Amino acid sequence: MQTAGKNTGCKRALIIIGSGIAGSYAALLAVEAGHHVTLITKGELGYSNSQFAQGGITAVTTDSMQRGDGVAAHIDDTMMAGAQRNDPAAVRKLVTEAAGHIHTLARMGVEFDRDAETGALDLGLEGAHSFPRILHVGQDSTGAGIMAALTARVRAAIKTGALVLHEKTTVTDLLRDNDAICGVRVRQDGTMQELPADAVLITTGGLGDLYLHTTNPAGASGDGVWLAWQAGAALKDLEFIQFHPTLVEGTGFMVSEALRGEGAVLRNQRGERFMTDVHPLAELAPRDVVSRAIHEQKQRSGGNVYLDATGLEKRHGRGFVAKRFPMISKTLKSHGYDLATTPIPVTPAQHYWMGGVYTDTDAKTTVPGLYAAGESACTSVHGANRLASNSLLEGVVFAAAAISAISADTWQQPAILPAHTISEGLLLPETVIGETAPALISDPSEALRLETLLAPIQAIADEHVGVVRDAAGLEKAENAFALHASANGHHLAGLGALIAYAARLRTESIGAHYRADYPHTETDHRMTTVLQNARCRQQQLATTSA
């Protein structure tokens, strides 16, 4: 295997772990900045959560501002969805830099959907957004479209020798020298090797493998977060795990929130629409609210909850659903459902992790030379719950921040820990869960054994660390995870123990973290005049487009 080059002047030898939107975008920007870049992925290039993102990427653009949108509105929406637990500086960075990164993505070959007649960006509306500001690629295949363009450019950079790629390669350890990260240890084709680097950027995504019901593709197992933890980095907000309301029952397929943005509604077993009694934004309420409402309906009646898009055909004409949601319609037909004529049974599923490796707004962790971006990082930009379609945006904004920091003179200075206590979301490396610190296990040759090990881990997570939690269940989960990690050495069980521990300490219900034993302590900043105005605006837009 080729290795990353050594530092020459202001050029750094950079290793990026993970090849989703954050990793690929960072790699391309780093190449443009003149750094020596090695990109490592345990699967194939581009295979990630990013590739499967249906809904879109958020940005306040000239086109959205012509419809009344603005930076302040996007900031407000992000803060409200996050229950005001967001870091205001991170949110402002995310929102104000969004349009610039949309232009950069376009320069890199991403073709965003536009109105055929006017040429303006085709903007969608999703839950808890007060204006249409969601950009798409290929209608409901945004992640795939963006990743296709970025992957093509990465492969072009490889051909010119500007970038080294290692596919099907597992990073097993981060290497340290005098407390700073100096490289990685990897396993490829059964062989272990050490690769030196001046800096390492973690962009490994989420932890869907922890749950049986998840929208994540297989392989999302929290690897980067565990690597950082083992290297002594602080973690933050691990208990904030977002559940997407509409995974199709009996499948691993998620139906995008954009469908509800177009007017699809949720109905219970009796055919009754129930979200209008739950939240002023009804089906477009923040995801934690919708997920809990579906969970309650299923617990109450024991029956299914259905996503009903049949009214869209009546409103917009025959063929609208297939044209607006081609990939979703095609996939659902493969499962025996006609989206235009049949309500679809749905259930909440683990979707996105707001917590992760603690970083500042420069993507620096608390360990010198170690950076993190995307879902594996916690900049606190999402607060207690992520606003729909802010995830792809977060990936590019903070990946770019990492490359800027690595290029600067202060690149080895670590993030400074905030004055937070452990109960406020910060887990310091000294925290001990159980009697073991399991190593990272993700060798593809052990797939069958890992599948056997995952089943009990997932059962624990689904039962006790799901949409609704309580102290007794979280304590059971923490102990069970720790025992499992000790007995089998699986890092995902170690992560599960950390998450259950953090969730047990947070004795409040807020955002995506809901405690049945503390149900009335949530400070719901979303039930405000701003939110009421957002609902009116959405109704007006729906009436105008009808």
Whether 261 contacts 405, CB under 8 Å = no
287 is a catalytic site residue: yes
DSSP letters for 456-495: HHHHHHHHHSSSSB-HHHHHHHHHHHHHHHHHH--HHHHH
Number of Cβ within 10 Å of residue 34's Cβ equals 14
Hey, what amino acid is at 521? T
Q: Minimal CA–CA distance to 127: which of 265, 321, 327, 332?
A: 265
| Spatial contact of 23 and 201, defined as CB atoms under 8 Å apart | yes
Identify residue 45 by its one-letter amino acid code.
L
Active-site choice (12, 133, 287, 506): 287
Contact 349, 210 (CB under 8 A): no
Structure tokens at 428: 């310091």
Cα–Cα dist 115/66, whole Å: 15
CA–CA dist 53, 262 (Å, integer): 17
Determine contact, residues 346/247, Cβ cutoff 8 Å: yes
> Is the C-alpha dihedral spanning 40, 45, 51, 56 positive or negative?
positive
Which residue, among 67, 149, 25, has the nearest Cα to 404 in the 3D structure? Answer: 25
Q: How far apart are CA 293 and CA 51, in angstroms?
A: 29
Kindly report the length of the chain. 546
- Residue 195 has a CB neighbour count (10 Å cut-off) of 22
Residues with a catalytic annotation lie at: 287
